[in-house]
Amino acid sequence: MRRKTVGYLFVLPILVLILVIFLYPLISTIRYSLYDIPFGVKQGPFVGLQNYRIIFAEPVFWQGLRNSVIWALGNLAVQLTIPFGIAIVLNHRLKGIDLVRAIVLIPWIVPAVVVAICARWLLLPTMGPINYYLLKTGIVARRVNFLGSLGLAMPTLIALNSWKFFPFGTLLILAALQTIPAQLYEAARVDGANPWQCFTRITFPLVGRIVWFIGFLAFVWNFNIFDLIWLITQGGPGNTTQTLPVLIYRTAFKTFRPGEASSIAVIIMIFLAAVGIIYFRLLSPKKEERIIAQ
Amino acid sequence: MSVRKKSLALVGVMVGLLVVVPGLCLAQEKVELTFWHHEAPAHRVAAFQQAIDLFEKEYPDIKVNQEIVMWGDAWPKTLAAIEAGNPPDFQFGIPDLLLTVYRANAIVPLTNLVKEMDEKYQFFPGAIAPYHHENESWGVPIWTMAFLLTYRPSYFEEYLGTTEPPKTWEEFLDYAEKLTHAPDLHGIGLAGAKNLMVDEQAYCIMTTAGAKFFDEKGKIIFDSPETIKALKFYKELFQYAPPGADAWSWGEMELNIAAGTVAMAPYFPSVQKRFYEEFDTSDYAGAHMPYPPDGKPGTICYPNEIHVYKQTVAKGHLPAVEEFVKFILKPEVNYILTAVQEPGGFYPATEAASRAPEFWNDPIITRFKGMNEAAMEALEYATLYGFEYGRWVNLGIGDITGADILADVVNRIVTGQMSVEDAVKWGAKAMEKYSEPVG
C-alpha cells in the first residue's frame, strides 16, 4: 500500500504538469467555445452551440479546412519521400558523410521567422535572386510571382515548410535504416536481388513502421502550423493559404471573437483525433511487418 | 543567548524599524508610473528615454518606466492586463486600440486635459477626431502619421522632364504609365495583399474620391459609386506596380522604395531616415495625394494617443500622468517623440509643435523639408477610415480594420478573383458582420 502511494507521488509532478499545461487550456477552450465572448477576454452569456453554427455557416471556414487538408497532405507527401531518399544516401559509408549528416540538420535549427523573412526576400519577383537566376538560366521566360499568385502560393509555402522539416524525417529514417543488418542485403544479393528489389523487399518493410509513425507526426504538426504561414503570406493571396490555425488567429486576435476562435480550435481537435484513430486503427502496418521491424 | 541579550537585540531591531520605516514611507511618496508603448526599434526606445529623462529631471518626485509591447501583441496583452486588473498607468495607442480599451470599459475620459492642451497648442482636427465620443475625449494625441504620395524626383526628371508631382488622377495614371520601364522600374508602388498597409493605401485613394465606410449615423455605405470609382482607379494604377506587389507588406514596400524599383508610392514619408543615413541622398520627395476632378484633397492619418486606465485614478496617479502628458506636448519636448524618434514617420499632433524650431532644425527633417512641409499641410485635411465625423459613429471599426476587409476587397480585385462591383458588394456585406452603429 505504502509502495503504491510512493509510486503515485512520483507520478504526481508530471500529472500536475499535464493538468496545468494541457488539460486546463483544453477544458477552457471547450468552455469558451460555448460562450458568446463579444469582446476581448470578457466572458459573455452561455450560447450553447451557437458559435459552431456561425462557424459552419462561414464559407471561409470551409475554405480554411480545405486549405488545411491540402497543406497537411502536400507537406506529408514531400516530407515522406524526400527525407527517405536523403536518408538512403546518408546511410552509405562515404568519406565526409558525418559532416554531411551534420549539415543536413541546419534547416531544422533555423527559426521559422528567419526562414520566413529570407524566403520573402529571396522570392521577390523584382529583386529576389531566385527569379534573377531562373530568368538568367532560361528556366522561366518571365518573373514568377511565387507568393502573390493564387496558384503558386500554397505549393511555395509547402516547399519552404518541407525544407525546414526534412532533417527531422531524415534523421528518424536514417536511424531506422541503420538498424537493418547488412547481412540481409548481402544474403539478398547472393540470391540475385537487384537494388530495387532490395529496397522494396527489405528496406521499405523494415523502416515502414517508422515512416508510418513520421507520417502521423508530420500530418498533425503540419496541420497545426501557424508561424510560417502567417509570417510569409498571412493567409493570402485571397484566402488561398489561410489554414484553420491562421483563421483561429484572425478570429481571436484580429476581430476579437474568442468564442468563435475556440470553436474552430475544438473542431480541429476533434478532426485530428478522428484522423489519429483512423490512422492507428486502419492504416497501422501489418502485424508481421511490426514483428520484422522489432 | 541570554534573556537580557535577546531583549536588547529586540529593542535594537524595533529602534531600527522606527528609523527605517518612516524613511521608506517618505521614499514611497515618489510616484512611479509605468506606461506601455509599441515602438520597439532601439532608436525609438532611446527617444522615449530621452523625453523621460528630461521629465524626471524637472519632476524628481515622479519616476517613469517605459515598457515595450510589440504592436502585434498590443491587443491581447492589453486585454489580458485589463482582465487581470493590472494594466499600466497609461498606454500609447492608435484609434483602434483606444476603441478596444474603451469597449472593455477600462479607461477614463481626459476631456479637461485635452481641452487645456487644445487651447494651448491647437490639435490638428484629424488628430483629435478619432478620440472623441459622447462629448468626452478618451485619448490625448501625442504625435500623428500621414501618407503622402512619395516619389523619386530624379525619375520624374529623367522620364517625364519635370520635377512636378501629379496633381490629378489623370496625371497620376499617366505618370505611372510613363515611369514604368519594366523590369527595372515600375511607375507605382501599390500593394494588393490582405494587410493593414493595403487598407491604408486603398483608403488614401478612396478618401480623395469621397468614399467612406460609414455615414454620419454609422450605417455602412461602403458599397457606393465613390468606392467603386476609387477602387477601379486603384486597379488601373496597379497594372504599373511591380510583379508580386499583390503579396507585399511593409518590408517589401520600403525595400522597393529604397532600391528605386518604384518611382512613386502612397506611403508614410518615413523612409527619409534611410535615404539620409544610408544613401546620403535627397532623391526622395513627397506631395499631396492626387485627386479626381470632382474629388478633394485627402489622405490617411494615424494619430497616436495616450489613454489612462481606471486603476491609475484609483492609485492616485492621474495627476502625475497629466503632468507627463503636458510635458511631452510642450513643442520643445514633443519634437523628441517626432523628429528624433522617427523623422517623417511621426509628425506633431499640434499646430504649435508643428512650428517648433526644434522640429525643423532636425537634420533629417531639414534635408527633406519640402516633403515634411507637405505632410504638415496634409495633416490639416487628413482623416482615418471610420473616424471622419469628429466622433465615433460605428464601434465595429476596430474589428473591420482587424479583419482587413478593405484590403481583402482590394486583393480580390487585383488578383482578378472578382470584379470591382462584386468585391465592393462583398466587402459591404463582410463589414455588416462587425457593424455596431452608434446612431
Residue A199 included in any domain? yes
Cell 510616484 -> residue: B31
Q: Is residue A259 included in any domain, yes or no?
A: yes
**Cβ-Cβ contacts under 8 Å for A145 (sequence gap 6 or more):** A125, A152, B243, B244, B246, B247
The Cα angle at residue B201 between residues B196 and B202, in degrees rounded to 5: 95
Note whether residue A77 is domain-resident: yes
**A118 in a structural domain:** yes
| Residue B12 in domain | no
Å from B114 to nearest chain A CA?
Answer: 27
Q: Are A228 and A115 in contact (CB under 8 A)?
A: yes
- Cβ distance B104 to A256 less than 8 Å, yes or no, reads no
Q: Residue B162: give the domain boundaries.
A: 148-300+394-434
Tell me whether residue B40 is in a domain: yes
CA angle B255, B261, B266 (to 5 degrees): 70
Which chain A residue has the Cα nearest residue B259? A127
* Preferred mutation among B186, B252, B410, B429 to probe A, highest tally of A CBs within 10 A: B252
| DSSP-assigned states of every residue in B356-371 | -HHHHTSHHHHHTHHH
Separation CA B362–CA B337 (nearest Å)? 12
> First-to-last CA distance in chain A?
36
CA distances from B113 to B127, B307, B352 (A): 15, 11, 16
Nine cell digits for residue B73? 501583441
Contact between B244 and A39 using a beta-carbon 8 Å cutoff: no
pLDDT, residue B321, reads: 97
The number of residues making up chain B comes to 439
A13 part of a folded domain: no
Number of domains chain B is built from: 2
Any domain includes B20: no
Q: CB A148 to CB B76 under 8 A?
A: no
**Which of B69, B73, B79 best probes binding to A when mutated, by most A CB atoms within 10 angstroms?**
B79
Residues of chain B with pLDDT under 50: 22, 25-26
Across the interface, of B83, B403, B417, the residue whose CB is closest to A41 is B83
Which H helix or E strand runs over B430? helix B420-434
Partner A contacted by B103 (CB < 8 A): yes
Q: How far is the C-alpha of B217 from the C-alpha of B209, rounded, in Å?
A: 20
Lowest mean pLDDT among A20-24, A98-102, A115-119, A215-219: A98-102
What is the residue type of B205? Answer: I
| Residue B193 to residue A238, Cβ atoms within 8 A | no
Write the DSSP symbol of residue B390. Answer: S
The answer on B131 and B54 residing in a single domain is yes
Residues B136 and B47 in one domain: yes
Q: Is residue B18 part of a domain?
A: no
Give the whole-angstrom CA distance, residue A258 versus residue A36: 8
CATH of the domain at B324: 3.40.190.10
Q: CA–CA separation, B373 vs B389, rounded Å? A: 25
d(CA B436, CA A256): 14
Residue of chain A nearest B72, judged by CA positions: A253
Q: Among residues 229-268 of chain B, which lie with CB inside 8 Å of chain A?
A: 242-249, 251-252, 255-256, 259, 261
Q: Helix B225-238 crosses helix B196-208 at what angle (to 10 degrees)?
A: 120
pLDDT for B286 equals: 97
In a domain, A24, yes or no: no
B86 CB within 8 Å of a chain A CB: no
Q: What is the CATH number of the domain that holds A195?
A: 1.10.3720.10
- The verdict on a CB contact (< 8 Å) between B415 and A237 is yes
Q: Amino acid identity, residue A81?
A: T
pLDDT in tens, A18-51: 888 889 999 999 999 999 887 655 678 899 999 9
Distance in Å, alpha carbon of B243 to nearest chain A alpha carbon: 6
Number of domains in chain A: 1
User: Which residues 193-212 in chain B show a CB within 8 A of chain A?
Assistant: 193-195
Is A36 a member of any domain?
no
Q: Are B305 and B91 in contact (CB under 8 A)?
A: no
For Cα atoms B388, B389, B395, give the angle at the middle one, nearest 5 degrees. 85
Residue B376 inside a domain? The answer is: no
CA dihedral angle for residue B347, residue B352, residue B357, residue B358, rounded to 10 degrees: -50
| Contact at CB, B243 and A125, closer than 8 angstroms | yes
Exposed, middle or buried by CB within 10 Å (0-12, 13-18, 19+), for A119?
A: buried
pLDDT at A293: 47
Alpha carbon distance A220, A272 (integer Å): 7
Same domain, B290 and B316: no
- Same domain for B106 and B153: no
**Chain A positions in Cβ-Cβ contact with residue B242 (cut-off 8 Å):** 125-126
**Contact check, Cβ <8 Å, A234/B249:** yes
Q: How far apart are CA B172 and CA B36, in angstroms?
A: 41
In a domain, A26, yes or no: no
Beta bridge partners of B69: none
Largest interatomic CA distance in chain B: 101
> Both B134 and B163 in a single domain?
no
Give the other-Cβ count within 10 Å of A159's Cβ.
Answer: 14
Residues of B in contact with A145 (CB under 8 A): 243-244, 246-247
Q: Which of A42, A117, A253 sits opposite B104 (nearest CB)?
A: A42
- CA of B213 vs chain A CAs: smallest distance (Å): 17
The radius of gyration of chain B's CA atoms, rounded to the nearest angstrom, is: 25
Instruction: List, for residues A184-200, the tens digit of each pLDDT value.
Output: 989 999 999 998 898 88
Taking only residues 355 to 394 of chain B, the set having a beta carbon closer than 8 angstroms to any beta carbon of chain A reads: none
Question: In this predicted structure, which of A127-131, A165-169, A280-284, B332-336 has the lowest mean pLDDT?
Answer: A280-284
B 39-78: CB under 8 A from A:
75-76
Q: What is the pLDDT of residues B240-255, one digit of tens each?
A: 999 889 889 888 999 9
ipTM above 0.85, yes or no: no
Of B248, B252, B403, nearest to A255 by CB-CB distance is: B403
Shortest distance, CA B351 to any CA of chain A (angstroms) = 34
Interface of A with B in 164-223 (CB under 8 A): none
B360 and B272 in a common domain: no
Question: How many angstroms separate the CA of residue B246 from the nearest CA in chain A?
Answer: 5
Kindly list the residues from chain A whose CB atom is less than 8 angstroms away from the CB atom of residue B74.
Answer: none
Q: Which of residues 54-113 of A touch B (CB under 8 A)?
A: none
Q: According to the model, what pLDDT value does residue A294 have?
A: 44
Say yes or no: B266 and B353 in one domain: no
The answer on B187 and B120 residing in a single domain is: no
Average pLDDT of the segment spanning A177-182: 89
Q: Fill in the DSSP letter of residue B336.
A: I
Same-domain pairing of B206 and B339: no
Nearest chain A Cα to B185, which residue?
A126
Distance of CA A71 to the CA centre of its chain: 9
What is the torsional sign of CA A65, A66, A72, A75?
Answer: negative
Statement: residue A213 has pLDDT above 90: no
DSSP track, chain A: -HHHHHHHHHHHHHHHHHIIIIIHHHHHHHHHTTB---BTTB---B-TTHHHHHHHT-HHHHHHHHHHHHHHHHHHHHHHHHHHHHHHHHTS--TTHHHHHHHHTHHHHS-HHHHHHHHHHHT-TTT-HHHHHHHHTTS-SS---TTTSTTTHHHHHHHHHHHHHHHHHHHHHHHHHTTS-HHHHHHHHHTT--HHHHIIIIIHHHHHHHHHHHHHHHHHHHHH--HHHHHHTTT-STTTT--HHHHHHIIIIIS--HHHHHHHHHHHHHHHHHHHHHHHHHSSPPHHHHHHH-
Smallest Cα distance from B405 to chain A, Å:
11
Q: Check whether residue B97 and residue B164 sit in a common domain.
A: no
Reference B356, options B378, B326, B380, B330; nearest CA is: B330
Q: What single DSSP character describes residue B30?
A: S
Q: What is the DSSP secondary structure assignment for residue B164, as one 8-state letter?
A: P
Task: Give start and end residues of each alpha helix (H) in B336-404.
Answer: 351-354, 357-360, 363-367, 369-378, 397-402
Clarify whether residues B189 and B280 are in a common domain: yes
Listing DSSP states for B192-253 in one string gives -SSSHHHHHHHHHHHHHTT--SB-TTS-B--SSHHHHHHHHHHHHHHTTSPTTGGG--HHHH
CB contact (8 A) between residue A253 and residue B75: yes
Residue A194: which domain range? 59-293
Read off φ and ψ for residue B268, nearest 5 degrees. -60, 140
Q: Is A127 on the interface with B (CB under 8 A)?
A: yes
Same domain? B68 vs B203: no
**Contact B194/A237, CB-based, under 8 Å?**
yes
CB B372 within 8 A of CB B269: yes
Long-range contacts of B54-62 (CB under 8 A, 24+ apart): B54/B327, B54/B333, B54/B336, B55/B324, B55/B327, B55/B328, B55/B333, B58/B327, B59/B320, B59/B323, B59/B324, B59/B327, B60/B30, B61/B29, B61/B30, B61/B31, B62/B30, B62/B31, B62/B32, B62/B33, B62/B320, B62/B323, B62/B324
Chain B CB within 8 Å of residue A28 CB:
no
Alpha carbon distance B258, A230 (integer Å)? 25
**Closest Cα in chain A to B194:** A236
- Answer yes or no: are the C-beta atoms of B56 and B62 closer than 8 Å: yes
Cell 481626459 belongs to which residue?
Answer: B110
- A225 and A161 Cβ atoms separated by less than 8 Å: yes
Q: What are B355's three cell numbers? A: 512650428
Q: How far is CA A21 from CA A26, A61, A270, in A?
A: 9, 27, 19
In whole angstroms, what is the distance from residue B317 CA to residue B325 CA? 12
